[in-house]
């Protein structure tokens, strides 16, 4: 009975919500098209949709990318892979690669659901071989080579034996070999060393085995800065969502932000000169003004590090955010004269108003974190 009352009360709430993340399928499709044109058919494209498609909504994003001609998808782990595989409407022919090195208990799920599994060591490989053999099935694997990122992967000097062991197995299928750049936006120096080590290993393997295999290394930064790194497949992430991985990439694409986060003005109050605002009284009104309270805070992903540093757009005008960002609300200085009303939309970042990159600069972080940080409390609205 209590559950029924709760359901009824939720339905009675007006459809308009406090905070929304507007996700533009048009911008996403245009960004994917720009990347396709950049690569110009020289490599396949793997759409990176980990972390709920960088906060944009996994299934809608993946379906739009598939409609744009992309059939390879990269996710963080088996949990994300199963969500993508079973929770949406992707074609059965889509390839999903989970980048994380799996725990032994995860292996059977890669096998059951046809997910490409990353292999970085002999112990995982042998566990995979044993499970696949016991079921009389074939498991698709991709070998991750650590050429200098220092996170996951087998060293180039040890990778050949791992590859040979896969080749000897009748229950493992090698679908790819890949690596990841530590400084992808800078094509020279360390990136060039990483690429050279990777290409040397893969050339030796293909020569020794008389087989060709899908080789991939280029993320967004390398797509823009290092054509030599495209190989057989590229892995755009942040570029798909409308941002560049770094300000110093030698090439820029005319990508547009895919997400715009908006909320509502829920309160407006006049403020006298000398009045302080929010926790720890970090802002004092220099003169008489009006303060708008906007229904978004760090629980929604609007970082506390933005306190007193960000700008908010309301009705086409940009106003400074003042005082400490709280869990559920922020305060905005409307100045002495304004036309803002309770219920007006406030744009926190997106294709109009401040960008995620601007917020990232203010918070001392990167656009990736701003996008991924938008919490589930913010309703995704797909345009």
Active site members = 50, 279
Whole-number Cα distances in Å, 322 to 87, 349, 361, 367: 41, 16, 17, 22
Q: How far is CA 203 from the centre of its chain?
A: 31
Of 163, 187, 185, the residue nearest 175 (C-alpha): 163
> What are the counts of helices (DSSP H) followed by strands (DSSP E) for the chain?
12, 18
Q: How far apart are CA 45 and CA 36, in angstroms?
A: 8
Of 228, 213, 221, the residue nearest 175 (C-alpha): 213
Q: What angle do CA 106, 110, 111 make, to 5 degrees?
A: 115
Exposed e or buried b per residue across 149-187, where buried means at least 16 C-beta atoms within 10 angstroms of its C-beta: beeebbebeebeebbeebeebebbebbbbbbbbebbbbb
Of 145, 148, 162, the residue nearest 216 (C-alpha): 145
Of 258, 260, 242, 256, the residue nearest 20 (C-alpha): 260
């Amino acid at each position: 009975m209590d559950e029924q009352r709760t359901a009824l009360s939720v339905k009675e709430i007006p459809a308009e919500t406090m905070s929304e993340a507007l996700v533009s399928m048009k911008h996403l499709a245009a960004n994917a098209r720009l990347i396709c044109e950049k690569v110009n058919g020289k490599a396949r494209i793997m759409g990176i949709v980990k972390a709920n498609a960088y906060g944009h909504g996994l299934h809608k994003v993946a379906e739009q990318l598939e409609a744009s001609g992309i059939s390879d998808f990269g996710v963080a782990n088996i949990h994300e892979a199963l969500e993508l595989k079973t929770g949406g409407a992707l074609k059965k022919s889509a390839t999903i690669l989970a980048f994380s090195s799996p725990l032994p208990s995860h292996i059977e799920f890669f096998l059951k659901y046809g997910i490409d599994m990353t292999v970085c060591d002999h112990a995982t490989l042998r566990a995979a071989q044993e499970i696949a053999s016991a079921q009389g099935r074939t498991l698709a694997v991709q070998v991750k080579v650590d050429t200098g990122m220092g996170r996951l992967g087998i060293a180039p000097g040890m990778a050949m034996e791992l590859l040979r062991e896969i080749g000897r197995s009748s229950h493992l299928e090698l679908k790819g070999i890949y690596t990841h750049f530590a400084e992808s936006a800078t094509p020279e120096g360390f990136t060039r060393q990483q690429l050279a080590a990777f290409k040397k290993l893969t050339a030796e393997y293909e020569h020794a085995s008389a087989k060709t295999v899908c080789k991939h290394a280029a993320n967004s930064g390398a797509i823009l800065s290092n054509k030599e790194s495209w190989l057989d497949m590229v892995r755009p992430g942040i570029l798909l969502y409308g941002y560049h991985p770094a300000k110093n990439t030698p090439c820029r694409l005319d990508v547009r932000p895919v997400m715009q986060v908006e909320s509502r003005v829920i309160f407006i109050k006049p403020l006298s000169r000398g009045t302080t605002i929010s926790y720890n009284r970090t802002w004092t009104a220099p003169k008489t003004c009006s303060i708008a309270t906007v229904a978004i805070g760090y629980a929604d992903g609007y970082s506390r590090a933005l306190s007193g540093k960000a700008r908010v757009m309301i009705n086409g005008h940009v106003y400074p955010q003042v005082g400490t960002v709280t869990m559920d609300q922020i305060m905005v200085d409307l100045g002495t004269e304004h036309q803002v009303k309770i219920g007006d939309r406030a744009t926190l970042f997106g294709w109009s108003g401040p960008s995620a990159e601007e917020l990232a600069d203010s918070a001392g972080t990167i656009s990736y974190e701003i996008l991924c940080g938008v919490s589930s409390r913010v309703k995704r609205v797909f345009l």
